[in-house]
Amino acid sequence: MAVYLDHNATTPLDPQVVAAMRHSLEALFGNPSSGHAYGEAAAAAVAAAREQVAALLGCRPGEVTFTSGGTESNNLALVGAVAAARRGAGHLVTSVVEHPSVLEVCRHLERRWGCAVTYLAVDGEGRVDPDDVGRALTPATVAVSIMHANNETGVLQPIAVIARVVREHGVLLHTDAAQSVGKVAARVDELGADLLTVAAHKLYGPKGVGALYVRDGVSLDPVLRGAGQERGLRPGTENVAGITGLGAACAAAAEAHAAGETDRVAALRDRLWQALRADGWRRNGHPTEVLPNTLNVSADGADGMELLARAPEVAASTGSACHTGRTEPSPVLAAMGVPEARALGAVRLSLGRSTTEADVDAAAAALVGAARAAREGRAVSPALR
């Protein structure tokens, strides 16, 4: 099997998560809204999971709303905030490097609701200037949405500094922390966030479940309409197995951090970087304000998709995409001012708990070999395309 270096795309289930979900699927089939013993058992499991998520985020359990994942959480945060504000069309501030589940929501609010949106630029290392956030605020601003960590580069934004700027103006701050929760500290009081997005499958939990932290006192209108589950913010019968899986994933993340997993993975990432750097590869993004598991790199004179095709021993991603027969560079790297040729050669390598030194060394050797073959113009085997 190939070395799996695509943990920012999704993660395997932690054994604790599998055990928790298996128990839920086998024993907790009751509807949490039912008043009998079966429903009460399911409701108790949901409550316990809410406490586990809250413990990781450093908030109260009642501030955790379960959703179907990061995309729904981002929609609920932004659409819900604008709808609840009732300030005419309103105004939002975000950045050009956000995940599509933020950018597309902003564009929808522009087109359909007449909402004004300011899209902030980033510097050459992929970071937003907090002063730019302050300058963008207006009396009509409802919320600022800046991601905690970028999914492609792993760059961490100065959320705590941005929060101080935003708070002075009485504006809500939302941060999409789907990539950071479980990898670095993402405690809401330290970040200063009013709204924070969690996606279970990014931290060794199941797909199809997530959470939105909503600070006490923040008013949101629900995006979905129905019954009163999740304090009326997210109606629909709870996904008990998924929710218990998310809770177990958060508990496992806290244990992993306490055991030094963050430092171990960061050391492996640096080992991988040094091997690629010796071959002339370049790093994209901030060198230190970055997720400990993420490395976005480019090999001069090589196409990222071609590199991965030449290195089937490595399972990883590129930021580029093929549209109408033409490979286009990552919009994130383009926003950072990375030259097109270098952006087209970018590969995102994201490590995880199962990654070993042997994995890193094998991946480095395969990628270096692929880059050298690309520079020499050797053809890619059709079987690898």
260-384: in CATH 3.30.1490.20 = no
What does the pLDDT read at residue 376? Answer: 82
Q: Which residues of the chain have pLDDT under 50?
A: 322-325, 382-385
pLDDT tens per residue, range 180-210 = 999 999 999 999 999 999 999 999 999 999 9
What integer pLDDT is reported at residue 340 of this predicted model? 92
| Residue type, position 46, single letter | V
Q: Where in the chain is the domain with CATH 3.90.1150.10?
A: 260-384
Two tokens at 27? 């024993």
For CATH 3.40.640.10, list the domain ranges present in the chain.
Answer: 15-256
The predicted pLDDT at position 301 comes to 80
Helix or strand run (H / E) with residue 244: helix 240-258
The Cα 187–Cα 313 span in angstroms is: 37
Residue with tokens 């390598």: 349
Q: How far apart are CA 159 and CA 353, in angstroms?
A: 26
- Cα(102)–Cα(97) distance, rounded to whole angstroms? 10
What are 175's strand-pairing partners? 196
In angstroms, the Cα distances linking 370 to 16, 301, 306, 361 are: 37, 12, 8, 14
* Nearest by Cα to 184 from 199, 203, 207, 209: 203
d(Cα 283, Cα 371) in Å, to the nearest integer? Answer: 15
| CA–CA gap between residue 204 and residue 45 (Å, rounded) | 19
CATH of domain 15-256: 3.40.640.10
- Catalytic (active-site) positions: 322
Compute and round to an integer the Cα radius of gyration of the chain: 21
**Residue 140: how many CA atoms within 13 Å on its side-chain side?**
11
The SS3 assignment for 357 reads helix
- Neighbouring residues of 114: CB distance < 8 A, sequence distance ≥ 6: 89
The verdict on pTM exceeding 0.85 is: yes
